[in-house]
């Protein structure tokens, strides 16, 4: 085992292709359905929302898809990213476990999100798109797409979940600096938003609701497309550049993970890292590899939700997909990990969970911030509230190794820094942060409205 702290790739070693897990799934994904007819989606159904190249990637079963040179040129601003060995955290925990983390916080917006934002902006530019609409939770996706659109000269309108819009003003300022327009959701700019405000003027918003506003905006304006930062297959595909790099760097470190841990909201961050590894589990070369998806206890989609067909948004404008869901009308409690407050989950992650290749765990926010502070005081990086969820579970697994004496190798998917989340850290450090219980009755009410699928 290499004793170095940092493992890096030369710029010339940056991957030239994304990895498509759909080529290696033992069973194909259940098809997405049209929100109006309930019939399987066709490329023509998706054409009002996405450029055709992204639609092709959404349904592709090719194992490797080439990354365009123009996208790789922009990736070079921060890629390849670094794999760290957390020697100081290991020492602080007095554990024999070997802890690694792949750090995505060095991108211009400070997270993993530009891996797909740049690609999506590029394909839209190629098709002649003048304007894009999108939603964002904590603002990481909105800021990443703002950066991506600035790279290609595309106008952007962002609907940001209201609670996060007010909790995280610096994310909005980042978006505006890159030239985007950002409004809180629900907003008066769409019928969906106006209807919700009439029903509940103090509505904190949700990703499902913000998606509805962005989709409505898209289909009611010319030369406009819609962009999603997580959940969909092509988004997870673009994120696999991280996992491909990580596999190469783990080889440099003469190590292979026993456990991989990441946070999930829509699933793009963690899937981007673990998909190239889960292939080894699928083909039987690493059958004992554990892949742990971590979500908030107050929005426990995979750990509490049924595996069922549901709409991807609150207004039932987005496609119906089979996933773990808390119901498209569910409004999650206002936890600071805004990027994890989605009622559903990436169909690929749900499918792999159903097949037994990945597992899931839910954590309360106070415990995750405690873990984040432990990590910061050992490794120096102040992590995003979302990332703190997987840090908490990684620390738990490392402490189990201390008890058992096993020197397991643990890999953390570190999605980004928390430099614009200081209000959340202040709430934790001052004892004002609270845990929200899983709102069982609200979820049951939302689940009663699942679409009837034959």
328 domain-assigned: yes
Is the model's pLDDT at 339 over the cut of 60? yes
The pLDDT of residue 2 is 60
Q: Given this model, what pLDDT does residue 453 score? A: 86
- Please report where in the chains the tokens 């004892």 appear, as a residue: 431
The answer to whether residue 189 is domain-embedded is no
Would you say residue 373 lies in a domain?
A: yes
Average pLDDT, stretch 118-142?
95
- Share the mean pLDDT of the chain: 94
- The pLDDT score that the predictor gives to residue 337 is 59
| CA gap 171, 109 in Å, rounded | 9
Say yes or no to pLDDT of 287 above 70. Answer: yes
Residues whose CB falls within 8 Å of the CB of residue 192, separated by 6 or more in sequence, listed in order: 186, 209, 212, 213, 216, 314, 315, 317
The answer to the question of residue 39 being in a domain is no
336 pLDDT tier (thresholds 50, 70, 90): low
CA separation for the pair 66, 51 (Å, rounded): 17
pLDDT the model gives residue 333: 78
pLDDT at 1 over 60: no
Mean of pLDDT values over 15-38: 95
Number of domains in the chain: 1
Q: Is residue 360 included in any domain, yes or no?
A: yes
Number of H helices, E strands in the chain: 18, 15
Task: Tell me the three state secondary structure of residue 250.
Answer: helix
Instruction: Read off the pLDDT of each residue in 192-198 and give the average, rounded to a whole number.
Output: 96
Phi, psi (rounded to 5 degrees) for 173: -65, -35
- Tell whether the model's pLDDT for residue 208 goes beyond 60: yes
Q: Which long-range contacts (CB under 8 A, 24 or more apart) does 215-218 make?
A: 215/49, 215/133, 215/313, 215/315, 215/317, 215/318, 216/190, 216/191, 216/192, 216/315, 216/317, 217/133, 217/157, 217/159, 217/189, 217/190, 218/48, 218/49, 218/133
Residue 413 belongs to a domain: yes
Which percentage of the chain shows pLDDT scores above 70? 98
In terms of residue numbers, what domain contains 85? 6-13+68-110+233-447
- The pTM (predicted TM-score) of the whole model is 0.94
167 found inside a domain: no
Question: Could you give the angle at the alpha carbon of 264 between the alpha carbons of 144 and 89, nearest 5°?
Answer: 90
CATH number of the domain within which 415 lies: 3.40.50.1100
Residue 260: strand pairing partners = 291, 411
Residue 208 domain-assigned (yes or no): no
Mean pLDDT of 309-313: 91
Residue 14 has φ and ψ, to the nearest 5°, of -60, 135
């Amino acid at each position: 085992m290499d004793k170095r702290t940092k493992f890096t790739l030369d710029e010339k070693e940056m991957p030239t292709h994304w990895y498509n897990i759909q080529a290696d799934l033992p069973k194909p994904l259940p098809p997405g359905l049209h929100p109006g007819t309930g019939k399987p989606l066709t490329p023509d159904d998706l054409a009002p929302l996405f450029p055709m190249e992204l639609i092709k990637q959404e349904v592709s079963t090719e194992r490797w898809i080439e990354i365009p040179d123009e996208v790789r040129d922009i990736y070079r601003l921060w890629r390849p990213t670094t794999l760290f060995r957390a020697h100081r955290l290991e020492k602080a925990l007095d554990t024999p476990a070997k802890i690694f983390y792949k750090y995505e916080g060095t991108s211009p917006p400070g997270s993993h999100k530009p891996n797909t934002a740049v690609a999506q902006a590029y394909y839209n530019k190629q098709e002649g798109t003048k304007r894009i609409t999108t939603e964002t939770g904590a603002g990481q996706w909105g800021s990443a797409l703002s950066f991506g659109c600035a790279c290609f000269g595309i106008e952007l309108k962002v609907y940001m979940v209201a609670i996060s819009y007010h909790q995280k003003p610096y994310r909005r300022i980042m978006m505006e600096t890159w030239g985007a327009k950002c409004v809180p959701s629900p907003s008066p700019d769409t019928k969906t938003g106006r209807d919700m405000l009439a029903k509940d003027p103090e509505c904190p918003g949700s990703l499902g609701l913000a998606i509805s506003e962005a989709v409505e905006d898209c289909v009611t304006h010319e030369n406009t497309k819609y962009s999603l930062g997580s959940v969909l297959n092509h988004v997870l595909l673009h994120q696999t550049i991280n996992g491909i790099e990580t596999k190469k760097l783990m080889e440099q470190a003469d190590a292979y993970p026993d456990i991989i841990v990441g946070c999930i909201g829509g699933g793009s961050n963690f899937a981007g890292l673990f998909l190239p590894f889960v292939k080894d589990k699928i083909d039987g070369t690493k059958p004992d590899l554990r892949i742990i998806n971590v979500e908030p206890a107050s929005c426990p989609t995979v750990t509490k939700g049924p595996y069922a067909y549901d709409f991807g948004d609150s207004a039932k404008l987005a496609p119906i997909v089979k996933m773990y869901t808390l119901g498209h009308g569910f409004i999650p409690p206002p936890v600071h990990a805004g990027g994890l407050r989605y009622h559903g989950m990436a169909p690929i992650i749900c499918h792999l969970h159903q097949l037994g290749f990945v597992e899931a765990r839910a954590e309360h926010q106070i415990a995750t911030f405690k873990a984040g502070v432990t990590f910061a005081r050992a490794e120096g990086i102040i992590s995003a509230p979302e990332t703190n969820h997987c840090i908490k579970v990684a620390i738990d697994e490392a402490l189990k190794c201390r008890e058992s004496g096993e020197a397991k190798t643990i890999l953390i998917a570190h999605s980004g820094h928390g430099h614009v989340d200081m209000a959340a850290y202040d709430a934790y450090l001052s004892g004002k942060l609270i845990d929200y219980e899983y709102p069982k009755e609200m979820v049951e009410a939302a689940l009663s409205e699942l679409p009837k699928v034959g």
